[in-house]
């Protein structure tokens, strides 16, 4: 067995595709996997200029970084993305589904059109990409979805994304069962509200940080570390799970 480079988690040379990878949590995940030696494909749906800034931000990371523009909230976008990955790389070792859309609304005053859009972004990549992923991924492939505590707890104005994340977690379990025979694991990482470094901190961030047993609110890098751990060879027996990375916040009554 070849030696594993310190800090690499055995991921050198792996091809990793991250949806919604050009900002926030997606960019933190990209940075972490790139530092482990992965070749990073950043999916985005926004302006090219913004995406190029993300690539520049990862310029000092080990591993090549490239852009893949596609709207993964549509079947056509997902199919096009998977086709390009197949034609260019011939395989995909890691697929991190981080893309999400959120339209604030309440359960009693919903915006049905926006709610369906939030659901589409959450579910379409694995709904329309599952068959392609099964063909693209070698044994040892990793599929990781990003979820949130809003899937199980009622967060103010979060109803559409809460429903979407709950459905995504169910999707993870079904795919885990069917892809296990191919040696591919499917899991999710869930977190609570993230501290994105706003100064001064919004009152909600300060209050949640005070409630977190670990003493601070979760930052994107915390979640990225857990995603990377699930990609490691040693995580091969973790299947169909939702791993919560929130510093213990959900443990508070």
Q: How far is CA 115 from CA 145, 160, 203, in A?
A: 19, 5, 27
pLDDT for residue 4:
46
Nearest to 146 by CA among 126, 117, 174: 126
Percent pLDDT > 90 in the chain is 83
Our separate counts of H helices and E strands in the chain read 7, 7
Asked about 158 being catalytic, the answer comes back as yes
105 DSSP assignment: B
7 inside domain? no
CATH number of the domain encompassing residue 194 = 3.40.50.720
pLDDT exceeds cutoff 70 at 62: no
Is 211 inside any structural domain? yes
Q: Is residue 6 domain-resident?
A: no
Q: How confident is the model at residue 63 (pLDDT cuts 50, 70, 90)?
A: low
pLDDT given at position 1 = 37
Catalytic residue among 165, 174, 193, 196: 165
pLDDT higher than 60, residue 76: yes
Q: Is residue 68 part of a domain?
A: yes
Choice among 32, 53, 89, 158 that is catalytic: 158
Number of domains forming the structure of the chain:
1
pLDDT digits (tens, 9 = 90+) for 85-129: 999 999 999 999 999 999 999 999 999 999 999 999 999 999 999
Average pLDDT rounded to a whole number, residues 154-165: 96
**pLDDT recorded at residue 8:** 78
The per-residue pLDDT for range 30-47, each reduced to its tens digit, is 999 999 999 999 999 988
Residue 134 falls inside a structural domain? yes
Could you read off the pLDDT of 196-223 as tens digits, one per residue? Answer: 887 888 888 888 999 999 999 999 999 9
Rounded-to-integer distance, Cα 216 and Cα 205, Å? 9
pTM of the entire predicted model: 0.93
Residue 182's domain spans which residues?
15-247
165 as an active site residue: the answer is: yes
- Within a domain: 4: no
Q: Is the pLDDT of residue 73 over 80?
A: yes
Is 1 within the bounds of a domain? no
- Per-residue pLDDT, 205: 84
pLDDT of 6 higher than 80: no
* Position 43 in a domain: yes
Segment among 146-160, 188-202, 219-233, 238-252 with least mean pLDDT: 188-202
Q: Which residues are CB-neighbours of 14 under 8 A, at least 6 positions away?
A: 33, 37, 38, 39, 93, 94, 231
């Amino acid at each position: 067995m070849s030696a594993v480079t310190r800090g690499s988690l055995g991921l050198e040379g792996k091809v990793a595709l991250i949806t919604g990878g050009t900002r926030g949590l997606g960019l933190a995940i990209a940075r972490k996997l790139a530092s482990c030696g992965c070749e990073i494909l950043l999916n985005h749906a926004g302006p090219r200029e913004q995406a190029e800034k993300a690539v520049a931000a990862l310029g000092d990371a080990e591993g090549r970084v490239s852009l893949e523009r596609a709207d993964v909230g549509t079947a056509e976008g997902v199919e096009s993305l998977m086709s390009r990955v197949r034609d260019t790389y011939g395989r995909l070792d890691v697929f991190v589904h981080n893309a999400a859309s959120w339209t604030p609304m309440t359960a009693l005053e919903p915006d049905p059109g926006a709610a369906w859009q939030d659901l589409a972004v959450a579910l379409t990549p694995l709904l329309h990409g599952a068959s392609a992923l099964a063909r693209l991924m070698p044994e040892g492939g990793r599929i990781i979805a990003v979820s949130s505590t809003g899937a199980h707890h009622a967060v103010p104005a979060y109803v559409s994304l809460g429903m979407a994340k709950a459905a995504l977690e169910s999707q993870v379990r079904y795919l885990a069962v069917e892809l296990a025979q191919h040696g591919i694991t499917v899991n999710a990482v869930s977190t609570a509200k993230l501290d994105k470094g706003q100064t001064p901190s919004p009152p909600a961030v300060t209050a949640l940080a005070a409630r977190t047993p670990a003493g601070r609110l979760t930052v994107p890098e915390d979640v990225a570390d857990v995603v990377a751990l699930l990609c490691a060879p040693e995580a091969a027996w973790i299947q169909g799970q939702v791993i919560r990375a929130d510093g213990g916040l959900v443990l508070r009554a």
